[in-house]
């Protein structure tokens, strides 16, 4: 395994981060335990979760993923071996069963206390805002369209609340998720006033969605913020399992039709072209796709997710694949032809 430091800290995290959002829905607790055992044995010391998980989020399974991780940490006595990240759910109808206050009032403190109890720990290494409160483009919305949503700038208020939590020792560092360049920079500006710095940004990034490169990648390099890339396989599309019209049973696109942003015709066409490159160089499409993300200079860690142990093994093993300049050039050529088909 290879490691990077969380920006501005001495905390080393594996370049492969274990994603957990299927645990408690597509994966049982025993399967999740097996994944965590194997990952830790292979040097993966960075786990990412959220109070929202498992996905899709429903009231009856609220925060079950955190409970599973907490049970594992207690059972294995491994808290000191894991860099643990979680998130507070953003506002909206989708999360009305969690809370309706967004990040206002005591919501962040209540959320962190709930996560700590479920995770059976007294601190979280990285605590993230799952998505913005304001109406903006994220979760598959490609362009920004201004909507009068009644939102007032509360960046400072959020950071002041987070400072209290960091000072209390419940959280070591803070980060963002599904945020855009304007939001990242606003938080960074306020951090100069003695408030916590958002040291990471968790956004989608893959061969099917390189939009992060347009504005946010430069911020990462110049402001020392790390990308935690999620959906590096485009919800499994870049594994190639959906090629030629296949729709495997129990696969995410089969189970959850709302993930359509990864299953349009351009996504499948681009995937076929990437598959051709992988076959030309005798490597798997999955590992080529992950290896591309692993070594981008603005990526701190690549969040992989798996529903089977075979998938997990292949995903983690991508750390051993280094793509040549020739392969990168051919990948970039496909991206020029079909840029960012998944928003």
pLDDT at 305 over 80: yes
pLDDT at 114 over 70: yes
Global pTM reads: 0.96
Assigned domain for 335 exists: no
Taking the C-alpha atoms of residue 41 and residue 34, their distance in angstroms, rounded to an integer, is 11
| Rounded average pLDDT over 125-133 | 98
Q: What is the pLDDT of residue 259?
A: 64
Cite the active site residues: 53
Q: What percent of the chain has pLDDT over 90?
A: 90
* 139: CATH: 3.20.20.100
Domain limits at 100? 3-234+297-321
Contact 289, 232 (CB under 8 A): yes
Measured distance CA(198)–CA(173) in Å, rounded: 8
**Of 21, 49, 37, 69, whose CA–CA distance to 307 is shortest?**
21
pLDDT grade, residue 232 (50/70/90)? very high
pLDDT in tens, 5-45: 999 999 999 999 999 999 999 999 999 999 999 999 999 99
Average pLDDT over residues 152-161: 97
Query: In the structure, what pLDDT confidence band is assigned to residue 82 with cuts at 50, 70 and 90?
Result: very high
Position with higher pLDDT, 310 vs 149: 310
The answer to whether position 277 is within a domain reads no
* Mean pLDDT for the stretch of residues 59-77: 98
255 domain residue, yes or no: no
CB contact set of 209 (below 8 Å; sequence gap of 6+): 231, 234, 340, 341, 342, 343
Could you read off the pLDDT of 185-202 as tens digits, one per residue? 999 999 999 999 999 999
What's the structural domain count of the chain? 1
Mean pLDDT on 314-337: 98
Is there a domain that residue 251 lies in? no
pLDDT digit string (tens) for 290-300? 999 999 999 99
pLDDT exceeds cutoff 90 at 249 = no
pLDDT of 254 higher than 80? no
> Is the residue at 136 inside a domain?
yes
Q: How far apart are alpha carbons 295 and 321 in whole angstroms?
A: 10
Q: Is the preceding omega at residue 56 within 30 degrees of 0, hence cis?
A: yes
State the Cα–Cα distance between residues 214 and 92, nearest whole angstrom: 27
Q: How far apart are CA 287 and CA 291, in angstroms?
A: 6
The answer to whether residue 286 sits within a structural domain is no
Output the pLDDT for position 261: 78
CB 284 within 8 A of CB 278: yes
**Average pLDDT of the residues of the chain:** 95
Residue 342 lies in a domain: no
Mean pLDDT for the stretch of residues 73-99: 97
| CA dist., res. 144 & res. 174, Å (int) | 25
Residues 6 or more apart from 118 whose CB is under 8 A from it?
51, 63, 66, 67, 70
The Cα–Cα gap between 317 and 315 comes to: 5
Residue 62 maps to a domain: yes
pLDDT tens, residue by residue, 255-291: 676 667 788 999 999 999 999 999 999 999 999 999 9
């Amino acid at each position: 395994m290879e490691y990077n430091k969380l920006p501005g800290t001495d905390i080393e995290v594996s370049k492969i981060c274990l994603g957990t959002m299927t645990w408690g829905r597509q994966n049982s607790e025993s399967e999740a335990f097996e994944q965590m055992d194997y990952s830790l044995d292979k040097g993966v010391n960075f786990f990412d979760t959220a109070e929202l998980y498992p996905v899709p989020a429903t009231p009856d399974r609220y925060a079950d993923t955190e409970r599973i991780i907490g049970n594992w940490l207690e059972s294995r006595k491994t808290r000191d071996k894991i860099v643990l990240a979680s998130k507070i759910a953003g506002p909206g109808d989708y999360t009305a069963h969690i809370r309706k206050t967004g990040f206002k009032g005591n919501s962040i403190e209540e959320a962190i206390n709930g996560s700590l109890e479920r995770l059976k720990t007294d601190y979280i290494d990285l605590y993230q805002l799952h998505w913005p409160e304001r109406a903006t483009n994220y979760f598959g919305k490609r362009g920004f369209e201004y909507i009068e949503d009644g939102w007032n700038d509360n960046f400072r208020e959020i950071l002041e609340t987070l400072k209290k939590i960091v000072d209390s020792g419940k959280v070591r560092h803070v980060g963002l998720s599904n945020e855009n360049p304007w939001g990242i920079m606003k938080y960074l500006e306020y951090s100069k006033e003695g408030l916590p710095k958002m040291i990471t940004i968790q956004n989608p990034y893959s061969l099917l969605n390189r939009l992060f490169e347009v504005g946010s990648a430069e911020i990462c390099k110049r402001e020392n913020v790390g990308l935690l890339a999620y959906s590096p396989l485009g919800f499994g599309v870049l594994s190639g399992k959906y090629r030629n019209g296949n729709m495997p049973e129990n696969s995410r696109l089969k189970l959850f039709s709302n993930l359509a942003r990864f299953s349009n015709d351009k996504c499948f066409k681009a995937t076929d072209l990437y598959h051709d490159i992988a076959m030309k160089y005798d490597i798997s499409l999955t590992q080529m796709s992950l290896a591309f993300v692993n070594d981008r200079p603005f990526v701190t860690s690549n969040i992989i997710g798996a529903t089977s142990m075979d998938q997990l093994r292949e995903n983690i093993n991508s750390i051993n694949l280094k793509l040549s300049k020739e392969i990168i050039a051919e990948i970039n050529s496909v991206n020029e032809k079909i840029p960012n088909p998944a928003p």
